[in-house]
Amino acid sequence: MTLLEGKRILVTGIITDASIAFHAAKAAQEAGATVVLTGFGRLSLVKRVAKRLPTEAPVIELDVQDQEHLDGLADSVREHVDGLDGVLHSIGFAPMEALGGNFLNTEWKDVATAVEVSAYSFKSLAMACKPLLGRGSSLVGMDFDNTVAWPGYDWMGVAKAALEATTRYLARDLGPEGIRANLVAAGPVRTMAAKSIPGFDTFEEAWVQRSPLGWDLEDPTPVAKTICALLSDWMPATTGEVVHADGGYHAMGA
């Protein structure tokens, strides 16, 4: 039996086939899961990307800032599967005004957008999917180390800190129902989302040099496999946790 045999997994956040979410969906299918995707904005693009998976996956439109989309998500998912065993939250966004060294001048409306889309939406997605989740289900979100201030990351770093806190409270409040909530803190991968962050490339080389296991900026597969491990039944007592898939960089000193 493969790792996710018989599991029904909802994957959000696919933009291109370079997205970490795409590779997570691919790894999940290869591990035996049935995958349903969500897309936002250019839905036709997401549908084309879905055809590049080992098995083409259905795509549901989901804007996490649209309450009607959230309210209708469970019914939309039921058109394809009768429930969910796991959900990947791979959603993050900050306006350009909140990035690139503009920290002290960013207005609240831009900060609010970053926090809503990148952190609060994990709670929103969890509650939208809750009618489909049973005991043993797993929620996994995508994190990036926010224990230090990264060049240009600014309010997205704050939003990621909020995401970590959100995950702990989800773990607390959903744990009695047997639902786990965890994050994967990935090392830098050259995705479209990463390239949109000003200055993101300034610390990529340091990551490659300092990670004791090494780090390939072009390969999302190690991150995807870590996601699948958390979605599986093999970490049944792990919740409220941040699991690093970064070659060990986070544990090294300067």
What is the set of active-site residues?
A: 153, 160
User: What three-state secondary structure class fits 33?
Assistant: coil
Paired tokens of 45: 């693009």
What phi-psi label fits residue 248: left (phi over 0), alpha (psi between -120 and 50 degrees) or beta? left
The torsion defined by the Cα of 57, 60, 63 and 66, in degrees rounded to 10, comes to -160
What is d(CA 185, CA 226) in angstroms, rounded to the nearest whole number? 10
128 close to 73: Cβ distance less than 8 angstroms: yes
Kindly state the greatest CA–CA separation across the chain: 54
Give buried/exposed letters for 159-187 (b at 16+ CB in 10 A, else e): bbebbbebbeebbeebeeeebbbbbbbbb
From the list 110, 85, 184, 108, the residue with the least C-alpha distance to 144 is: 184
242 close to 185: Cβ distance less than 8 angstroms: yes
DSSP assignments along 183-199, one per residue = EEEEPP---HHHHTSTT
